[in-house]
Every structure is written in C-alpha cells, then in structure tokens.
Amino acid sequence: MKIRKVYGKVTIQASCSYNYFTIYNNQLMKTKSLFLASVFIISLFIFSCQEEKPKEKEVMDKKKTVCYQSISGKDTAWFSIDTSKKIINGLLTFSYTDKKERYEGQFKGEMYGDTLRGHYDFKINKAERWNRNPVAFLKKDGKLTMGIGQFMLIMGSAHFDNKVPIDYGKGRFIFEETMCNN
C-alpha cells in the first residue's frame, strides 16, 4: 500500500483498495460456489436413493373389470383388469407352490390389436422392495396367453427387446376368464 502526499493532501493508491475488494469478492464467490455445489450433491444423493414406487392401487371400475385365472402345474396366477379406459390398469398375482413365493402387484398397459402390453410392478412375498418387468399377453379365443421375450435395460428399467419377437407359444400361463371376487 502506497501513501502519497501531494500538495498537502494524503492519498492512498487505488490499487490497494481494489486488491482488498477483489480478494473479498473472490472469497465470497468461492463460498457461494461451495454452498451451491453442496446443495446440488445433497439433492442428487437424496433423489437417487429414493426407490421408485408405483402409485397406490387405482380404483378399478367393477362394471368394466374382467378377471382371469391360470393354473400351470402346482402354480396359479390371477389377473384382473379394468378395461374402461385406454390405459388398462389391473392386479396380477402369481403363486409358486414349490418355491413358496407369491408375486403380487399392479399392471399398467395398453391394447395393441390383439396384444396387451405393459409393465408389472410387484413385490415378492410382500417384501419392501418393488420390482418391475415388462409383460405381454396375446388375446385369442377369450384367453390371454402370457408371452416370453428378451429383456433389455434402458436407463435401468427393463423393456422388451424390439429386435427379438415375443414368443407366445412358450408361454406357461394361459389365463381363462373367470368370475371376479368382489
């Protein structure tokens, strides 16, 4: 810092005060940047750790609900769908006797000609963790045949591989229409 005396007046060179404010502003900017970076990282951590959960069971129109059942060996599956809207909602349950496992969850999908395609959000034996798989059913002669297809992951979510056709001939579960238990 330079102090000058010109014609009896004391002046302080401006560069000294400029450097002080520059240092102060740089520290302020670093503090703000650090704060914003911390908020961003914490937000990213919070949102990435949340498990995607399906919405609560949507209310199904009982008049437009169709129920199906499939028995394959010792295993049984139940499928009820609400056909009152373009987006078809339903409940799908698989009970595997030998494995002592029960898959319960929600179906959401659409009809494409004679094919019902969508995704199945389910829990195994009422565990906390939700799972999601794509499912497809071929509707023929009043029955729904569940197809077998090749999965691929897109951004961490399973989808059918469009390059490999879904095989309905290998489908283990063939659902026949049954009375709904209201």
**Domain CATH for 159:** 2.40.128
Residue 149 belongs to a domain = yes
Whether the full predicted model's pTM is greater than 0.85, yes or no, is no
Residues 135 and 163 in one domain: yes
Residues 84 and 174 in one domain: yes
Residues 117 and 39 in one domain: no
Residue 34's domain spans which residues? Answer: 3-49
Residues 76 and 33 in one domain: no
Contact 124, 105 (CB under 8 A): no
Looking up tokens 């704060």 gives 35
Number of domains in the chain: 2
Residue 55 belongs to a domain = no
Residues 106 and 156 in one domain: yes
Residue 70's CB: how many other CB atoms inside 10 A? 21
Residues 91 and 173 in one domain: yes
pLDDT in tens, the chain (182 residues): 555 555 555 555 544 444 555 555 566 566 666 665 555 555 544 444 444 544 545 567 777 899 999 999 999 999 999 988 999 999 999 999 988 899 999 999 999 999 999 999 999 998 899 999 999 999 999 999 999 999 999 988 889 999 999 999 988 999 999 998 86
Residues with Cβ < 8 Å from 181, sequence gap 6 or more? 67
